Amino acid sequence: LMSLVDPDWVRALDRPLRHPVPGAGSTAAAELPAATALMALTWQMQPAGQRQGKSLDDPAARQRFMGRFFEAVERAKPLQALVASRWRAWLLQELPSPRSGAPAPTRSASMGVPMGDWLRRGPPAEAEAEPELTGAGHRQPQAASGASPSVLPSAVQNAASDATPRWRARPFGVNLFGFAFGELGIGEDVRMAAQACEAAQIPYRVVNVNPGSQLRQGDRALESQVEGSVAEAPYAVNLFCMPGFDMVGRVVMRDGPGVLADHYNIGWWPWELPVWPRRWASAFELVDEVWAATGFTQSMYAAATARPVTLMPLPATVERLVPTPRRELGLPARKFLFLFIFDFNSHLPRKNPWAVVAAFQAAFAPSDRTVGLVLKTMNTRADDAQWQAFKTLCSQDKRISLMEQTLDRGAVLGLVQACDAYVSLHRAEGFGRTLAEAMLLGKPVVATDFSGNVDFLSSRTGFPVAWQRQLLAPGDYPFVEADDAAWWAEPEVGDAARQLIAARAAAAEPAFAPRVLRYARKQFAPDRIGALMRQRLEAVWDQK
């Protein structure tokens, strides 16, 4: 029967329908994917009593109906032929275990869908369940028995190449996909991309992508520009300002491959390691080209894909700064303060706050009370043993102030302004936005001389720290497997200590801050990067 069904029918029936975006405080059911045209037809065929006056716009009703729908699919082979394969992948995804040590349930089990022949077939050889968000826009893929290196259903893999010839019928401009309201670094990526478009007079719309209910989404700077539906992305170019993994999991696997149709698709994808995970090589099939924010990521992407790779720096500004006195921040008034800002969800070993503490203590004797170290983080977990051990380490030095809270954008910049120098002894960074923002405030920056920040942090503009190469084992970082041969930098604590001392001395030099400010304002200017964006977009538009 399946061989008689035209794949175009399946794609048409799998078209996601628009549903109102749930407001803050919605239940987990609100994060369900949109219902498809096939589901809507089946919904309408139900007796009115089963619909109980509800509609598929109601997340709880949609959740209950999907359970019944997939139960029917398991029992009716003719219906199976009409259901896109991505739904088997979605149903077989493992959910977080409700109890520590307990086996992880599948979504099908949680919805009461029986494990019949259709589900036992599993995802197609080239498919995998939708990845689970681990925070800060990164997702940890679930292991799948017998899974091949590809992570995308075939209908999704071909979406970009099939759509390319028709995108010219749309008007020139970009649809910016990203975490527009998310209070995290990659949320700022899409907000800054919008500012660059405005500076270069590039027509644009913003399509907000929900990063998950566990992340605060209070940044409303783009609220007036946000479009509530993928169907309202009118321009020829889709520009995905998010990791490639999130483009797969939060956009394509939720809304279907139709989101890519009739558009030229560009992934402005951040990534931190010098290699791309081989298991995710098929993600490049979703896009027509990749934009790399730094020379570091440009080299990595160029080695990983035959798609065009364009160096496109990320813009940064500190225009939304809210000056905040140290007193209001609970910080000492007269000490020279070093600052490090990091998100617990951005993978703690990569951010490497231990090295910051070690370098600070190596640079300044315990008796030196003229200095302090401020560590500002968010999304910490009280049940995380590693984090509790780090807190204990910090509590043993009274000069260290640990701030565990999510601040509004202006307040975060106010904190940077209130401190005297910035330090980041990361093991890898795709860009290094907080470093850029510190430079835009004229602060001395001490940072590992590796990865994205190498483009803008040199011995003339800051204080780079020497490092040694360190190999990564499977499990050390999301998506990394043994055959990736992944690695990152291990900063040298002794050199970092010397650079902290040098940074403190530089802060007292009258010429230092103006020199850094002049450089940073030019390097990260939205109008400069907007002009580069427009130049590349016009080159794409003019291609024959």
For residue 465, give both structure tokens: 């720290």
- For residue 372, what are the β-bridge partners? 337
What is the Cα–Cα distance from 63 to 56, expressed in whole angstroms? Answer: 9
Q: Give the span between the Cα atoms of 197 and 214, in whole angstroms.
A: 30
- Per-residue pLDDT of 14-68, as tens digits, reads 877 766 655 544 444 446 788 888 888 888 777 766 666 678 888 888 888 888 8
DSSP string, 403-443: EES---HHHHHHHHHHSSEEEE--S--SS-HHHHHHHHTT-
Q: What does residue 379 show for φ and ψ, rounded to 5 degrees?
A: 65, 30
CA distance 354 to 131: 29
Opening angle at CA 141, ends 124 and 263, nearest 5: 70
Q: What is the pLDDT of residue 113?
A: 85
Instruction: Evaluate whether 264 touches 540 at the Cβ level (below 8 Å).
Output: yes
Cα(175)–Cα(302) distance, rounded to whole angstroms? 24
Cβ–Cβ contacts within 10 Å for residue 365, how many? 9
CB count within 10 Å of CB 435 equals 27
Burial class of residue 514 (count of CB atoms within 10 Å of its CB; 0-12, 13-18, 19+) = exposed
Rounded alpha-carbon distances, angstroms, from residue 102 to 89, 105, 144, 347 = 22, 9, 18, 24
Query: Of 432, 394, 439, which Cα lies nearest the Cα of 417?
Result: 439
Report which DSSP code applies to 285: G
Kindly report the pTM of this predicted structure: 0.74
The three-class DSSP label of residue 446 is: strand
Yes or no: say if 343 and 378 are a contact pair by the CB < 8 Å rule. Answer: yes
Half-sphere exposure (Cβ direction) of 519: Cα atoms closer than 13 Å: 19
Distance separating alpha carbons of residues 260 and 477, to the nearest angstrom: 29
Task: Supply the pLDDT for residue 531.
Answer: 97
Cβ atoms within 10 Å, residue 312: 23
Rounded distance, CA 113 to CA 299, Å?
45
Structure-block tokens of residue 222? 């783009």
The confidence score (pLDDT) of residue 143 equals: 32
Residue 399 DSSP one-character state: T
Q: Are 243 and 280 contacting, i.e. CB atoms less than 8 angstroms apart?
A: no
Q: Which of 518, 36, 505 is nearest to 258 (CA)?
A: 36
Q: How far apart are CA 178 and CA 191, in angstroms?
A: 8
Looking at the DSSP bridge assignments, the partners of residue 423 are: 446
Number of CB atoms found within 10 A of residue 330's CB: 9
Please say whether the dihedral angle defined by the alpha carbons of residues 271, 272, 275 and 276, taken in this order, is positive or negative.
negative
Non-local CB neighbours of 148 within 8 Å, separated by 6+ positions: 125, 126
195-199 — which CB contacts under 8 Å span 24+ positions?
Answer: 195/315, 195/317, 195/526, 195/530, 196/315, 196/526, 196/527, 196/529, 196/530, 196/533, 197/530, 197/533, 198/526, 198/530, 199/526, 199/527, 199/530, 199/531
Looking only at the bridges linking them, the beta strands covering 336-343 and 226-227 are unpaired
Residues of the chain with confidence (pLDDT) below 50:
1-4, 24-30, 125-151, 153-155, 162-164
- Assess contact for 262 and 231: CB atoms under 8 A: no
Distance of CA 368 to the CA centre of its chain: 40
Q: Sheet with 463-465: list strands edge to edge.
A: 400-404, 371-378, 336-343, 421-424, 445-448, 463-465
Q: Which positions ≥6 away from 39 have C-beta within 8 Å?
A: 56, 65, 66, 69
Instruction: Tell me the pLDDT tens digit for each residue of 94-142.
Output: 776 555 555 667 888 888 888 887 887 765 544 333 333 333 333 333 3
The one-letter amino acid code at 265 reads N
Candidates 439, 457, 460, 438; CA nearest to 449 is: 457
Do the Cβ atoms of 283 and 247 come closer than 8 Å? Answer: yes
